[in-house]
């Protein structure tokens, strides 16, 4: 059965960093209570993050059955017992990006389904990445990584240098999707990979459409799902690019409770 009433919200997709998680990388009591309220209203709660699946595990609340990880490179059950969709870079594209990064002042990190790898020795960039993601990459050389199925590539660097990548001709002409997710992090992946494409796969599996989905996020990587979903909420403290594309914006409150205030708006509007 397919539902076509946008007030009949059946699924809420929630970004982690900057949305469900506060600046301290914790779920505030207010945000935790809001997830409970969504569940009590009969709304399926899905976590949708750029994080690797293993970095999401600490935040898998009891009511979460479905997870979108690695910017949408994988969508499946909370325990990975069922994978509905997965997407990987071509080996030739991984090799091309390896050549691109070698002369540059960035540290590359490679996401596979099972782990996160880097060919670089310990450095400040990797310490920063580990702090942001909650996971330290394993060491592997380029040849080993080329033999793996890579979901996405991250370049970690200084903010000004990461910002300059937005207008880098080599990347814009690479045929790959590339965008900044943090001041110090730039991500590269196939154009087919997005939270929106993963959520589309999930909703088709569950038997309803985009109009029955509300999404919550704060960054450029959330824009595809903002454009796709029936309702979208950007956090007021988020990136301006994301705010400009969301259908609604949270009240201007402390970052740790902006998601909770957005849920208040949603439930009030749909009468739940």
Read off the tokens for 32: 């935790």
pLDDT tens, N- to C-terminus, the chain (272 residues): 344 445 699 999 999 999 999 999 999 999 999 999 999 999 999 999 999 999 999 999 999 999 999 999 999 999 999 999 999 999 999 999 999 999 999 999 999 999 999 999 999 999 999 998 888 999 999 999 999 999 999 999 999 999 999 888 888 788 999 999 889 999 999 999 999 999 999 999 999 999 999 999 999 999 999 999 999 999 999 999 999 999 999 999 999 999 999 999 999 999 87
Q: What is the structure's pLDDT at 135?
A: 87
Question: How much is the pTM?
Answer: 0.92
| Burial call 141-165: b when 16+ CB within 10 Å, e when fewer | ebeebeebebbbbbbbbeeeebeeb
Q: What is the structure's pLDDT at 7?
A: 66
Domain locations along the chain: 11-86+193-269, 91-189
The length of the chain is 272
Give dist(CA 45, CA 15) in Å, integer: 11
Read off the tokens for 72: 């949408």
Give dist(CA 21, CA 224) in Å, integer: 20
List, as own/partner pairs, every contact residues 74-81 make where C-beta atoms lie below 8 angstroms and the sequence separation is at least 24, other chains included.
74/113, 74/151, 74/198, 75/198, 75/199, 75/201, 75/202, 80/53
The 3-class secondary structure across 223-235, one letter per residue, is: HHHHHHCCEEEEC
Give dist(CA 71, CA 42) in Å, integer: 26
Give dist(CA 110, CA 119) in Å, integer: 9
Q: What is the structure's pLDDT at 171?
A: 86
Q: What is the structure's pLDDT at 271?
A: 87
| CATH number of the structural domain 91-189 | 3.30.1240.10
Give dist(CA 48, CA 67) in Å, integer: 6
| CATH number of the structural domain 11-86+193-269 | 3.40.50.1000
Q: What is the structure's pLDDT at 118?
A: 98
Q: Chain-centre distance of CA 47, in angstroms?
A: 9
Q: What is the structure's pLDDT at 71?
A: 96
Q: Chain-centre distance of CA 26, in angstroms?
A: 17
Q: Residue 159: what are its φ and ψ, rounded to 5°?
A: -55, -45
Read off the tokens for 261: 């205030």
């Amino acid at each position: 059965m397919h539902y076509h009433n946008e007030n009949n919200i059946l699924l809420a997709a929630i970004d982690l960093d900057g949305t469900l998680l506060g600046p301290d990388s914790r779920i505030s009591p207010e945000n935790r209570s809001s997830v409970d309220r969504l569940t009590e209203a009969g709304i399926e709660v899905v976590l949708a993050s750029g994080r690797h699946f293993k970095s999401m595990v600490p935040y898998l609340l009891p009511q979460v059955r479905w997870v979108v990880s690695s910017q949408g490179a994988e969508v499946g059950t909370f325990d990975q017992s069922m994978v509905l969709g997965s997407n990987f870079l071509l080996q030739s594209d991984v090799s091309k990006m390896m050549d691109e990064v070698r002369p540059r002042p960035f540290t590359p990190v490679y996401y596979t389904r099972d782990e996160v790898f880097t060919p670089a020795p310990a450095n400040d960039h990797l310490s920063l990445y580990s702090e942001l993601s909650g996971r330290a990459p394993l060491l592997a050389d380029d040849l080993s990584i080329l033999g793996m199925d890579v979901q996405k590539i991250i370049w970690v660097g200084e903010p000004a240098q990461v910002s300059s990548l937005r207008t880098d001709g080599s990347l814009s002409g690479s045929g790959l999707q590339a965008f900044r997710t943090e001041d110090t992090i730039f991500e590269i992946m196939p154009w087919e990979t997005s939270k929106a494409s993963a959520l589309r796969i999930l909703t088709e599996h569950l038997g309803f459409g985009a109009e029955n989905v509300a999404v919550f996020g704060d960054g450029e990587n959330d824009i595809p799902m903002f454009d796709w979903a029936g309702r979208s909420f950007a956090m007021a403290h988020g990136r301006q690019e994301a705010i400009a594309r969301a259908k609604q914006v949270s009240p201007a409150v402390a970052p740790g409770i902006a998601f909770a205030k957005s849920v208040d708006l949603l439930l009030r509007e749909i009468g739940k």
